[in-house]
Amino acid sequence: AQTVTQSQPEMSVQEAETVTLSCTYDTSESDYYLFWYKQPPSRQMILVIRQEAYKQQNATENRFSVNFQKAAKSFSLKISDSQLGDAAMYFCAYRIFQGAQKLVFGQGTRLTINP
């Protein structure tokens, strides 16, 4: 069974600095997708960034980038120039390429931004 592990229940960072959130996963599949979702206090689940496993290039979305290490089954999220609005729960998620399209989520990391 696929599992996703986020080993950091909480993280904090000073505004304008960089923070990295960790995620590891376990799968026997070769084709899959990985995601980072943000859940602010409003509870809305917002997609931050997506990575296809077959792509070697790490995904980037503005201040958000990932470090995808397929062999190590690691998928970390780097937030640069942290802003107060980045404060939220962050969830790493996995989905296989074909078959059941369910998302498998990690337990989440609560990110606090210190002004």
Partner 1 sequence: DSGVTQTPKHLITATGQRVTLRCSPRSGDLSVYWYQQSLDQGLQFLIQYYNGEERAKGNILERFSAQQFPDLHSELNLSSLELGDSALYFCASNPDPRNTEAFFGQGTRLTVV
Note the residues at the interface with partner 1 (CB under 8 A): 33, 42-47, 50, 52, 91, 95, 100-108
Q: Please, what is the minimum distance in Å from the beta carbon of residue 107 to partner 1? A: 5
How distant, in Å, are the alpha carbons of 69, 71, 97 from that of 39? Answer: 24, 28, 24
Q: Which is nearer to partner 1, 82 or 92 (CB)?
A: 92
- 72 by DSSP, 3-state: which? coil
Q: Please, what is the minimum distance in Å from the beta carbon of residue 115 to partner 1? A: 27
How many angstroms separate the CA atoms of 24 and 73, rounded? 6
Q: Which is nearer to partner 1, 14 or 107 (CB)?
A: 107
How many angstroms separate the CA atoms of 60 and 58, rounded? 7
Q: Please, what is the minimum distance in Å from the beta carbon of residue 61 to partner 1? A: 12
